[in-house]
Amino acid sequence: MTAAIMFQGTGSNVGKSVLVAGLARLYARKGIRVAPFKPQNMSNNAAVTVDGGEIGRAQALQARAAGLEPTVHMNPVLLKPESDTGSQIILQGRRFGTMRAREYGKRKAELLPSILESFELLKQSADLILVEGAGSPAEINLRSGDIANMGFAEAADLPVILIGDIDRGGVIASLVGTRAVLPQADRDRIKAFLVNKMRGDARLFDDGVAAIRAATGWPSLGVVPWFAEAHRLPAEDILDLSGGTVRPDTLTIAVPVLPRIANFDDLDPLTLEPGVSVVLVRAGEPIPVCDLVLIPGSKSTIADMAFLRAQGWDIDILAHRRRGGRVIGLCGGYQMLGRVISDPDGLEGPPQSMPGLGLLDVETILVSDKTTAPFSGRDAQSGLAVSGYEIHLGRTDGPDAARPWLERRGVGEGAVSADGRVRGSYVHGLFGDDAFRRTFLMSIGAEVSDLAYEIEVDRTLDRLADHLEEHVDTDAILKYADRATR
């Protein structure tokens, strides 16, 4: 029988995703057929599977760590927020619908059979499943109908490891407090705890570990020191990205952080280039003087276009363009560069049209036929091969599209202004291609490195696995998972 174990946290961003990725790489190196699984994720930073489905980017990284191609069954429910109170629901890789939070809370239990189906399908080709929870089981107000934490653990009869984050403070209270609020049946599922993100000498927390053990009765699996290289792995949350400091003698890329920013993995390779400073521009801040403005993807283009204007960023971007600056728009950012964005069917809210920045002579019409597919083509100017993926609603066309940025099988993709200083494309992941990234950066005056991005991600996963092997009782995790099958 396939062994399985679930990792839950005392809160969001305690490091569950990174820990599961590191453990997946560690166990895979030992010859164990391991697969990641997250019943429900909430993120606008999605990955596209080979068959054109969508899953959370964290699960795609975990699959990579395990040496697997990502599949839709690794993250059967993906919530993509479209507003503060509603999300698009992706079920087993495909768009299921859009629900407000209250409606989803009432109906989420209906998705459990599909989640369990995906889990069973994964088990058919794995020796070990590493399951990641979402948020915290301590949110007992969400326990009824839960499919993300203890509700799924109960349905699949899984043991649980509870993770606390010492870096944010209060880790003793968060671990002990989680136990205190859980019903007895859920408490009994927790087999051990893990303290994550310890800065400094871990031995200084020995008394803290003893206090948690005494208060909970749970054994400790270890105290994991801060892994300083975590930023070299693809981030799932924009809050995990560093950006804001302009280093001397570097090319500066300014990125306005939109409320519904999506698929910002385009930034990951750029942040690792030593000759580039990526500045994340937050609400209330002006877009600084820079070499390039990169407008990222958006889950709700019209709403984010309105936000961009409300921040005065449109004025900053147009002034940057008048000074001869360069502008790139990717996916939703590409749509914003055009003259108008139209939503006649109300896919993102009430039917409406909104003027774009007018930096490209193109227009976008949002349509219900969603494109989710890998992309393989070439740069229309240099001829360099390039690969990536598309996730978008909408079709964009106009005179500037006659000058495509990319080509695929003789068909143009994207648009370029007459002077070549404004470019837009629906393709994500372009800058992960080393040759393409270097050529592009050199063309706009950056000093480039010999960074091999994909190789660096794998090396970082290996170093993460080494880090966990040193500080975590990984044999005990296997024993807890194996006991659950007996």
Q: How does pLDDT run across 361-371, given as a tens digit for each residue? A: 999 999 988 89
Q: How does pLDDT run across 124-173, given as a tens digit for each residue? A: 999 999 999 999 999 999 999 999 999 999 999 999 999 999 999 999 99
| Tokens 């490891």 -> residue | 161
Cα angle 398, 403, 406; round to 5: 110
Q: Quote the CA–CA distance of 173 and 226 in Å, as a whole number.
A: 20
Of the listed 73, 320, 392, 428, which one is catalytic? 428
Structure tokens at 155: 């349905």
Q: What is the CA radius of gyration of the chain?
A: 23
Query: What is the average pLDDT across 103-128?
Result: 96
Of the listed 73, 320, 331, 467, which one is catalytic? 331
Q: How does pLDDT run across 412-451, given as a tens digit for each residue? A: 999 999 999 999 999 999 999 999 999 999 999 999 999 9
According to the model, what pLDDT value does residue 244 have?
Answer: 64
Burial 73-84 (b: 16+ CB within 10 A, else e): bbbbbbbbbbbe
Does residue 134 contact residue 42 with C-beta atoms inside 8 Å?
yes
Confirm whether pTM is higher than 0.75: yes
> Which of these, 51, 40, 179, lies nearest to 112 by C-alpha position?
40
Q: Residue 243, Cα to own-chain centre: how many angstroms? A: 17
| The pLDDT of residue 51 is above 90 | no
Q: How does pLDDT run across 298-309, given as a tens digit for each residue? A: 999 999 999 999
The answer to whether residue 467 is catalytic is: no
Q: Quote the CA–CA distance of 265 and 262 in Å, as a whole number.
A: 9
Alpha-carbon torsion (343, 349, 351, 352), positive or negative: negative
The answer to whether residue 331 is catalytic is: yes
Q: How does pLDDT run across 260-279, given as a tens digit for each residue? A: 999 988 999 999 999 999 99
| Tokens 């208060």 -> residue | 215
Q: How does pLDDT run across 447-479, given as a tens digit for each residue? A: 999 999 999 999 999 999 999 999 999 999 999
Structure tokens at 355: 């003027």
Q: Quote the CA–CA distance of 368 and 42 in Å, as a whole number.
A: 21
Does residue 318 contact residue 305 with C-beta atoms inside 8 Å?
no
According to the model, what pLDDT value does residue 160 have?
Answer: 98
